[in-house]
Copies of this chain bind each other. A is one copy, B any other.
């Protein structure tokens, strides 16, 4: 759909060693979609000569190339120098940038290091993009004219997301928006589905839509969730929406691509209801997910992370002998935790989780990954569920909190 192509080249040995994960692709992908643009390809290469190969390959293929990383003060940062060399441009010291870097050091109480000066070097013909959140500026370099090969419009941006994102928002995104001449911008709707597998989503909904020919249908499966992604004009997507909603029914988690926690927070808001949490094995992950949602303070009252048995008793009033008789990972303790949290908080709902996240703690009687969830609601009977989630510690937390939120969502939907 784009009339021109945008590629992303991420540089940094740490990305290929796995010390850090790239976030730039997802960020740019989301930001430029509303302009009718997509990243057509993304490449990651280590610091050093591999950057040169990747640059030259992209040069022949794309109209805009965004390069991230390698602009810092240390000797492994050579993107600026490589680009200048390939384009045959001299590097010139940019006095204003140098002054900015010196000023930044002064403000933060750092000593100005001579090596920082490299960050103020700018290839002839480039525009400096000031860095409000770090020292290395970005660079915008228009296509080189009058050579036998073609060069794309280049943006060189710093690697850290908190430096890159504000800079790109101010300088790169407006450029791309202006360049994008697609008159009809496509629309993208993501229907998030819970309780229905990927195949079934395609069988029940996707096939019908694919046959039309005017909608691009995609799927993405995650633990306990499937995204059904429709891309087309707003008119076409509006037209099919009633059908999609009917076919997905109760399994529709959200129709704006919102997360499970966003969906739960907005349902609570609509009902004027509140929630509290009592977590053992998930250690605050459920409260953390709920409070990731802006405005969650209107519905989330308080959370208890009762990791030790003693804290379950002292904070939530779980009777000691209940823990002794049934163990901390049991239906009885989950129920007592949820009911304790509900009464103390006076919230409409209280969710509790108790389980064995691993890697240690499983035993002959309690399997690793065992999880009890209970949901207490004002004036209603407390519900409880057992799950077995034998996986790594972080996935366990993710699945456990996802499942707990889904129980709360279903309960609100059915009004039971």
Task: Write the residues of chain A forming the contact surface with B, with a CB cutoff of 8 angstroms.
Answer: 12-23, 25-31, 33, 38-47, 50, 54, 57, 72-76, 110-111, 113, 115-116, 159-160, 162, 188, 190, 197-200, 202-203, 206, 210, 217-223, 227, 229, 257, 277, 279, 282-288, 290-292, 294-297, 300-308, 310-311, 314-315, 344-345, 358-360, 391, 393-395, 397
Contacts and interface: CB of A to CB of B under 8 A. Distances in A.
Contacts of A73: 198-199, 202
Do most interface residues of chain A lie in helix, strand or loop, or is the interface mixed?
A: mixed
B284 A291 contact: yes
Contacts of A160: 221-223
A301 B292 contact: no
Contact of A38 (B16, B29, B206, B219): B16
A16 B22 contact: no
Given A287-B305, A288-B288, A302-B311, 9 more contacts: A18-B29, A110-B199, A113-B202, A116-B199, A283-B291, A284-B286, A285-B291, A294-B393, A302-B305
A19 B227 contact: yes
A20 B296 contact: no
18 contacts: A13-B229, A16-B39, A17-B29, A18-B26, A18-B33, A19-B190, A19-B229, A40-B46, A40-B50, A73-B198, A74-B202, A75-B210, A110-B197, A113-B199, A115-B199, A292-B393, A294-B393, A300-B307
A308 B17 CA distance: 43
Number of copies: 2
A285 B283 contact: no
Contacts of A292: 283, 393-394, 397
Contact of A26 (B21, B27, B113): B21
Contacts of A296: 283, 307
A391 B162 contact: yes
A107 to B, nearest CB: 13
Contacts of A222: 20, 160
Given A15-B25, A257-B19, A359-B294, A74 B199 contact: yes
Among A113, A284, A297, A358, the most chain B Cβ lie within 10 Å of the Cβ of: A284
A223 B23 CA distance: 14
A190 B159 CA distance: 19
Given A76-B219, A283-B290, A288-B284, A227 B308 contact: no
Given A202-B115, A311-B302, A43 B46 contact: no
Contact of A72 (B46, B198, B217): B198
A47 B305 contact: no
A200 B114 CA distance: 11
